[in-house]
Structure 1
Amino acid sequence: MPIDPALAPLLDMMSALPHMNPPFDVTALRLGDEQPMPVPKAEVAEVRDVTLDTSAGPVAARLYHPQPGTMLPLLVFLHGGGWVFGTIETHDPLCRAIAAAAEIAVLSIDYPRSPEHRYPTALDTVRAAIVAAAAQADTLGIDANRIAVGGDSAGGNLSAALCLATRDAGGPPIAHQLLLYPVIDNDFTRASYAENATGYMLSSEMMQWFWAQYLGDQAVDALSAPIRADSLAGLPSATVITAEFDPLRDEGAAYAARLKADGVAVTHDHVPGVIHGFASMLGMLPQADVAVGTAARNLRAAFGMTPAA
């Protein structure tokens, strides 16, 4: 299927931005990320910034709570940005949309970014954050027995790794993992890396640079590249959403297949005609609203909730 025509102006604009082309620079990417796309923001009854008192120190987060005074299931959300950029602010519209559509609480975590804080610092921080969130359930207005994790791109990587770490080393039980075009491996030989190498916002060269910032001189392992785990059995049910024109397309599909083969309940939605990051393009692409709806339905089902009206 051809790329959605609505994306053409965005891709033209992005390709002309210096920070989106090599040589990549951490500061320039972060500055460019401070001007997120103007998209509609769903109304959520309570949105407040909180600080989680964790074993890794204080961690900033933003809570989205559609029904203050009610103990709701929680999605711990981890933003994308190649582990290098992205913030609570850049993903505010997406978190609002999920909270409103699913009628659950969402807690967006401000985790440490690379290269200042290389692997496994971000993962260790989000592990500590989910423990702290469960411990602070009363003040957050959440049900500590119904917690899911999710994120996009690098946030999807951290979510998948968090599920593996929790399975193997303990922690609050995780009901579901929401993986939006996740980073799952650093195998750059997959066909989608060649087919979508340039011209679709996230380039293959940029992705390789992100991995270098994240790992430094460390070797890849199962908690940095979750598809390399010996077994995925016993992991929470998963929603995996992939995009056609995305270097990460094939690794996301391969991870969904591995999860299914290892006995995990999986919904894999492959979305044609769109690029990496499309779920954040609310109000621009109907496919973004569909992806949010899929995420909401699957989260509610994992939490044992009735379908939203």
Structure 2
Amino acid sequence: MPIDPGAQRVLDLIREMGRPPIHTLSHEEARAASAKSRAVLQPEPEAVAEVEDLTCPGPLGPIRLRRYRAAGTEAGEALPCLLFLHGGGWVIGDLDSHDQPCRLLANAARCCVIAVDYRMAPEHPYPAAVEDSAAALRWVVANAAQLRIDAARLAVGGDSAGGNLAAVLALMGRDGSVPAVGYQMLLYPATDMAANRPAYERFTEGLILTDKTMRWFIDHYVPEPKRRYEWQASPLRANSLAGTPPAFVMTAGYDPLVDEGTAYARRLEEDGVRVTYLHLADQIHAFLTMGKFIPASALVLRQAALALAHHWQPEAPL
């Protein structure tokens, strides 16, 4: 399958600019390079009814959050809520890196999106991101009335590293260590820190995320190799996924994470979880934050949002 023309243009642009691969940079340099690319790759963010920066208590101090309410919603309406965990390999990314996708998701699902600025590696390695995500989920449920959200219609979601954290929260909710959620949105998720599936051998050069780049992220996030097999780092290694909420799982064809994302969707189905699985054979990892060049970005985000909205209101047309 040929790569999407817009995705190829992004790869060509990166090469023309001479940007070095992420895994050759320090984590500070990688963060600066990522932040610099946002204006080039992302379209203008959609208008929403309300945006508010918040904080909630965390294990080592306040956690920054950002709350979005969909355009066209009433100020006093208790909206369903998506707790969103951003991607970036647990090393890069923040509230601003995913502001545009969060706005689109809020509008398309007609919901509230609350984005979480969890602690990053290598300063705060695993399980810091899990702990912050769990703290944010507990706080959102405890403060649902003040946040004007409906705690009975709560989902978790994220892309890449954020998809990993969302899958972990769904498992934790099933087991009772955090409030249970009703849906999980996993967008090209990382699910297995072993990094030994065949896709790692296929994607070694010429992409934004290659085998070496992903191992660089994992080395920063879970520096102790033996801990990479814990299910809170590698949810695919959980004994069972049964009892977790319905899921939307998306994978991209040109992505070292494609095999573990596919395996996670298959495991969900085998363990009796209702799952919608979308595979984009011609897409690269991280395309959801490249909408200025890749039209499929908005299309897939809207499709994920509509699947979520349909779960909340099954009588609504897709």
**Residue 116 of structure 1, aligned match among 103, 123, 135:** 123
In structure 1, what is the equivalent of residue 205 of structure 2?
Answer: 198
In structure 2, what is the equivalent of residue 269 of structure 1?
Answer: 278
Letter in 2 for 1:83: W
Query: Residues 130, 209 of structure 1: CA spacing in aligned structure 2 closer, same or farther, 3 A cutoff?
Result: same
Q: Using the TM superposition, give the Cα deviation of residue 287 of structure 1 relative to its aligned residue in structure 2, in angstroms.
A: 1.6
Contact map agreement 1:76 1:148 (CA 8 A) in 2? yes
Q: Using the TM superposition, give the Cα deviation of residue 18 of structure 1 relative to its aligned residue in structure 2, in angstroms.
A: 4.1
Contact map agreement 2:42 2:292 (CA 8 A) in 1? no
1:303 aligns with 2:312: yes
TM-score, normalised to structure 2's length? 0.92
Contact map agreement 2:167 2:186 (CA 8 A) in 1? yes
Q: Using the TM superposition, give the Cα deviation of residue 40 of structure 1 relative to its aligned residue in structure 2, in angstroms.
A: 2.4
Distance 1:126 1:38 in 2: 25
SS of 1:302's partner is helix
Q: Using the TM superposition, give the Cα deviation of residue 42 of structure 1 relative to its aligned residue in structure 2, in angstroms.
A: 1.3
Tell me whether 121-130 or 288-297 shows the greater mean CA deviation. 288-297
Contact map agreement 1:24 1:206 (CA 8 A) in 2? no
**Residue 259 of structure 2, aligned match among 250, 256, 270:** 250
Which ranges of structure 1 fall in alignment gaps of 5 or more residues?
none
Query: Residues 65, 75 of structure 1: CA spacing in aligned structure 2 closer, same or farther, 3 A cutoff?
Result: same
1:9 aligns with 2:9: yes
Q: Using the TM superposition, give the Cα deviation of residue 34 of structure 1 relative to its aligned residue in structure 2, in angstroms.
A: 1.5
1:25 aligns with 2:32: no
Counting aligned pairs with the same residue, the percent is: 40
**Residue 221 of structure 2, aligned match among 211, 214, 231:** 214
In structure 1, what is the equivalent of residue 132 of structure 2?
Answer: 125
1:243-293 deviation per Cα after TM superposition (whole angstroms, max 9, x unaligned): 011110111000000010000000110012110011222243232122112
TM-score, normalised to structure 1's length? 0.95
Contact map agreement 2:246 2:275 (CA 8 A) in 1? yes
Contact map agreement 1:242 1:271 (CA 8 A) in 2? yes
Letter in 1 for 2:31: R
The ranges of structure 1 where at least 4 consecutive aligned residues each deviate by more than 6 angstroms after the TM superposition are none
1:49 aligns with 2:53: yes
In structure 2, what is the equivalent of residue 146 of structure 1?
Answer: 153
In structure 1, what is the equivalent of residue 245 of structure 2?
Answer: 236
Letter in 2 for 1:168: D
Tell me whether 130-139 or 148-157 shows the greater mean CA deviation. 130-139
Task: Map residues 66-77 of structure 1 onto 2, 5 A cutoff.
Answer: 66=70, 67=73, 68-77=75-84
Letter in 2 for 1:33: S
Contact map agreement 1:56 1:128 (CA 8 A) in 2? no
**Residue 289 of structure 1, aligned match among 278, 298, 301:** 298
Which ranges of structure 2 fall in alignment gaps of 5 or more residues?
none
Tell me whether 54-63 or 182-191 shows the greater mean CA deviation. 54-63
Query: Residues 56, 308 of structure 1: CA spacing in aligned structure 2 closer, same or farther, 3 A cutoff?
Result: farther
Tell me whether 140-149 or 167-176 shows the greater mean CA deviation. 167-176
Letter in 2 for 1:64: Y
1:7-57 deviation per Cα after TM superposition (whole angstroms, max 9, x unaligned): 223102324544425423101001112121231211111011111235654
Residues matched between the structures, number: 309
Letter in 2 for 1:170: S
SS of 1:272's partner is strand
SS of 1:76's partner is strand
1:188-230 deviation per Cα after TM superposition (whole angstroms, max 9, x unaligned): 3322112222212111101001111011125221110000011
Contact map agreement 1:102 1:308 (CA 8 A) in 2? no
Distance 1:29 1:55 in 2: 26
Distance 1:148 1:208 in 2: 29
SS of 2:306's partner is helix
Tell me whether 8-17 or 131-140 shows the greater mean CA deviation. 8-17
Tell me whether 58-67 or 10-19 shows the greater mean CA deviation. 10-19
Letter in 1 for 2:12: D
Query: Residues 21, 295 of structure 1: CA spacing in aligned structure 2 closer, same or farther, 3 A cutoff?
Result: closer
Contact map agreement 2:3 2:283 (CA 8 A) in 1? yes
In structure 2, what is the equivalent of residue 39 of structure 1?
Answer: 43
